[in-house]
């Protein structure tokens, strides 16, 4: 099993896809890494030689910000926006969409689904 940047890559997937399991590496960056190390993208993770794994590990850990460092960097940027009172920081703090989406409808992921009680009747209005 190949272990790069503290992540166990899935054994039966192609290395091109397997590298995307590392936080901060997508398909484009994965292809870039494989091209610079000279590893065949069609190779399965279980078929990689130790020298291939070592060269991939060296490339990934030396040139790219990934996993914990990247998460920490993103969290610090969001915290900075909150601390200076920027509009985006206020949206983060309130748990609302940050990038200008509408909130009257949709945005259930950020706002959370509203739970309703089945069979509950409204109280009659007093006149």
Structurally, how many domains does the chain consist of?
Answer: 2
CATH value at residue 11: 1.10.8.50
Same domain, residue pair 60 and 83? no
**DSSP H or E segment with residue 93:** helix 87-94
- 8 forms beta bridges with 3
21 CB neighbour count, 10 Å cutoff: 16
- Whether residue 1 contacts residue 9, with contact meaning beta carbons closer than 8 Å, is answered with yes
- Whether residue 56 contacts residue 64, with contact meaning beta carbons closer than 8 Å, is answered with no
Same domain, residue pair 11 and 31? yes
Q: Extract the tokens encoding 104.
A: 């009257």
Q: Does residue 18 belong to any structural domain of this protein? A: yes
Q: What pLDDT shows up at residue 127?
A: 67
Instruction: Extract the runs of DSSP E, i.e. beta strands, from the chain.
Output: 3-4, 7-8
For residue range 59-76, what is the model confidence (pLDDT) as tens digits? Answer: 999 999 998 999 999 999
Same domain, residue pair 56 and 81? no
What range defines the domain where residue 100 resides? Answer: 68-111
For residue range 91-122, what is the model confidence (pLDDT) as tens digits? Answer: 999 999 999 999 888 888 888 877 777 777 77
Q: Does residue 104 belong to any structural domain of this protein? A: yes
CATH value at residue 76: 4.10.910.10
Q: Does residue 125 belong to any structural domain of this protein? A: no
18 CB neighbour count, 10 Å cutoff: 25
Q: Does residue 25 belong to any structural domain of this protein? A: yes
Q: How far apart are CA 12 and CA 44, in angstroms?
A: 6
């Amino acid at each position: 099993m190949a272990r790069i940047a503290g992540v166990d890559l899935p054994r039966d997937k192609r290395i091109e896809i397997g590298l995307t399991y590392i936080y901060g590496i997508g398909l484009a960056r994965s292809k870039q890494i494989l091209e610079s190390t000279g590893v065949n993208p069609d190779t399965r993770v279980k078929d990689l030689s130790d020298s291939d794994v070592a060269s991939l590990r060296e490339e990934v850990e030396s040139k790219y910000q990934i996993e914990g460092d990247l998460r920490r960097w993103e969290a610090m940027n969001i915290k900075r926006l909150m601390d200076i009172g920027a509009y985006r920081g206020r949206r983060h703090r309130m748990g609302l969409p940050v990038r200008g989406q509408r909130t009257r409808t949709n945005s259930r992921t950020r706002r959370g689904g509203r739970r309703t009680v089945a069979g509950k009747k409204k109280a009659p209005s007093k006149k």
